[in-house]
Chains A and B, each alone.
Chain A
Amino acid sequence: MSPQPVVDIRGLHVRFGEVEAVAGIDLQAYAGQATALLGRNGAGKSTTMRVLAGLVPPTAGTVEVDGLDIGRHTLAVKQMTGYCPDVGGLVPRATPWEHLQLSAKLRRLDSWEDRARDLLERFELGGVAHRITGGFSHGMGRRLSVVLAALHEPRLLLLDEPFDGVDPIGVEATMDVIADARARGACTMVSTHLRELAIQACGEVLVLRGGSRVATVGAAEMAGEEGARAYRALLD
């Protein structure tokens, strides 16, 4: 008997007025696995992530997280997801610690402070924990977004462009967060344009084009020069 997927998307469509951002995606992702979403700008990666995070309701299709329909159990799904949005994702005049307090309060976390401090140190944000995020660099903001997504050890970790503009230390810390999530049996989805990092972090790669899935391949098949050529061919 095959295991139940943590993420089960069937026939997902998302329309914004005339624009169809996602045009019929089917996707399953499992516990203990990390799946990368690759594709060009406008392929539907971030919209799919936003649907899974409970931000954008599907126009059509079914989306289940851990067996719960996202439309009917939005709050429960938000409870079990950790989301790093592709842009910003930080309240500009709140401090990192206040972001963590808010997340902990709404997720009813107890004794979260030590883990929060540890994550901030791992991402080299301990020194700015009490400064407002409006003054942060892009990379600092990205790193904090990953910390916020990982704080409550979510069942589903959604990282949208977590490596964008991040320095090597931040990339390494993000890789550790993904590895930790896999080790404790969480399902991780990473959307990125950085193929090599996606391959390094994930076991499976989904390539999206024009709002649809065009391929699902093992990460190893996307590696090296050969993988780059194969990826390029899938984009055109």
Chain B
Amino acid sequence: MPTGLSSTSAASPAALHPTSIQAARRAVADVAHLVRFRVGTVRRRRALRIAVGILVGITVAVCTVPMALPDTRSNDVLIVMPTAFAAFLLLNIVSGVASGGGRELLSREQGVAYPVSPTTDHLGALLMAPLNIAWLLQAWTILGSAAYALPASAVPAALITCLLWFVVSTSAAQVVAWTMEAIRRRAHGRWVVRALVGACAAGAAYLQLTDQLIDFLDRLPTLWLVARSLDGFTASWLTGVGFELVVIAATVVLGAVPAHLAAKLPSRDEAKVEGGAYPVRRMPRTVVGMLASIDRASVWRSVPMRRGITVLAVGPGIVAILGNMSWTNMTILPGLVASGGALLFGVNAWCLDGRGLLWRENLPALPGQVFAARALVLAEFVLAASLVTLVMASLRAGVPSASELAAMLMLVLVVTLQVLAAALRWSAQRPFPVDMRSARATPAPPVVMVGYSARLALSTTFTGLLFSTLSRFPDWRLSLLFAVPLLAWSGFRFARTARRWQDPVERSRVVMAVAS
């Protein structure tokens, strides 16, 4: 890994003031160094190999298996492909902007001793973007759709177009994300960003209210690209691919510019949180209340958590309004939002205290009280997000039937407890020392996050589909009946984790890991 010049090295002017080309070459080389460093720090090599194998296996499967399925709705799938391409781009933009320029290849705390340039940081964020379950699920859906909807002879060409589109979307989104971050870090920048986001939301609302949304989606420029990928390796396809390659090259290079601009300025969001004075609040009456009040402060004063939960709660709500989701279809939302909320900090819940956990563990509180407070705050966090989404979605869905209401209420309870039990279990099993100051921070390493999010997505989606089915039955008591065993199972797992937290050896392991 390159570091500063040693005392015996001659500091030549060329080394200190490299040209743009030299700097770019060095940035690319540094990305390779950082990747090797990150991979080298993985303790469970076998698990990493298995995880990579699974990801590659799923990708190969989604590219091939749909070709063998009966071709009954290929036209329907093809029609939505341009929208799916645009949605993928939008997802990347939202994700990149919310995370302040994308995930870090090396965390700020770890990287502070090394001369990591903003270009390296930008390229690292590009590499890290696919390690996100939302990115992967959308990519797999698009690949699978192409493989399903097109004749076998046209699939390879279409898949190449799709794969390049994923790179185009990620790199273009990165340019937007860095630009927004550079704006956000300037005076009044946060208000400018909010105004831009508001304008986009108002635009979407206008299209929806004036019944122009479908026309708008039909005229998306992605249609041009999709149309060129339908007939196999033709000259037309080559034009599309050539266009994608040009855009990739341009956006990868262009992204470094706002990345440098952003790196020159301190984060105003963090400065506001760290420099602001917080008024004294009255002490809660109970011990658990007091512990929870500190935990709540740790959550809501964290830039990534506040920003993340806002996007998670509002984003699906807007999609539900625009898509005119029915109560039956809305059952997919609570699980999605609760899982996303837990992924913001819950899967490594003890990291909230950072090294302060050493001091907190010396305080005379019962382990059960500490556990209860953390669980309460996590439950509040995911429930609040789920409820905001549901309230937004219900604005267009109308009044639910008794079955729909019962299914939704039970679903919210079940997925909250499912997510809570899983997150706290993982928090104790695999604690990580993480500083959650930066908007770019994640509570666990990227590959681990992919594993967690996949497992959460699987279980909560299954639960959502179950209650979606139950909501169609006229008897609302069915939802209660099915909820009881699910709640009991998650409650059992939650109680087991709470019992393990009582063990001083187990607790000490977690404390030492988080505070290391």
**Chain A residues in the interface with B (C-beta under 8 A):** 16, 50, 53-57, 71, 74-76, 78-79, 81, 83-85, 87-95, 97-99, 101-107, 130-135, 145, 148
Q: Given the complex, which residues of A lie within 8 Å of B511, measured CB to CB?
A: 55
B437 within 8 A of A: yes
Min CB–CB distance A191 → chain B (angstroms): 13
Which residues of chain B from 431 to 468 have a CB within 8 Å of any chain A CB?
435-437
Q: Mark B495-507, 1 if CB is under 8 A from A, else 0.
A: 0000000001100
Interface centre among A54, A93, A97 (most CB of B within 10 A): A93
B114 interface residue, CB < 8 Å from A?
no
Are A89 and B355 in contact, CB atoms less than 8 angstroms apart? yes
At the interface, yes or no: B4 with Cβ under 8 Å from chain A? no
Question: Are B273 and A93 in contact, CB atoms less than 8 angstroms apart?
Answer: yes
Inter-subunit contact A105/B437 (CB<8 Å): no
Q: Which of B273, B275, B297, B363 contacts A98 (CB 8 A)?
A: B297
Residues of A within 8 A of B364 (CB): 75-76, 78-79, 106-107
> Which residues does chain B contribute within 8 Å of A83, judged by CB atoms?
358-359, 362
Q: Given A105-B287, A130-B280, A135-B274 in contact, is the A88-B358 Cβ separation under 8 Å?
A: yes
Q: Which residues of A contact B61 (CB under 8 A)?
A: none
Check B280–A97 contact: CB distance below 8 A: yes
Q: In terms of DSSP, what is the predominant structure of the interface of chain A? A: mixed
Kindly state the separation between the CA atoms of A101 and B364 in the bound complex, as whole angstroms: 13
**Chain A residues closer than 8 Å to B352, beta-carbon distance:** 91, 93
Cα separation A53 to B360 with both chains bound (whole Å): 11
Q: Closest residue to B298 on the A side, CB-wise?
A: A93
Q: Which one of A55, A57, A102 contacts B290 once the chains associate, using CB atoms below 8 Å? A: A102
A34 CA to B508 CA in the complex, in Å? 27
Min CB–CB distance B430 → chain A (angstroms): 16
Tell which of A74, A91, A95, A133 has the most Cβ of chain B within 10 Å: A91
Q: Is A102 within 8 A of B363, CB to CB?
A: yes
List of B residues within 8 angstroms of A91 by Cβ: 294, 298, 352-354, 356, 359-360
Q: State whether A131 touches B278 (Cβ < 8 A).
A: yes
Nearest 4 pairs between A and B by C-beta? A88-B355, A135-B274, A91-B356, A85-B358
Q: How far is the CA of A37 from the CA of B359 in the complex (A)?
A: 20
Q: Is B5 an interface residue (CB 8 A)?
A: no
Contact B277 A131 (CB under 8 A): yes
Tell me whether B279 is interfacial, beta carbon within 8 Å. yes
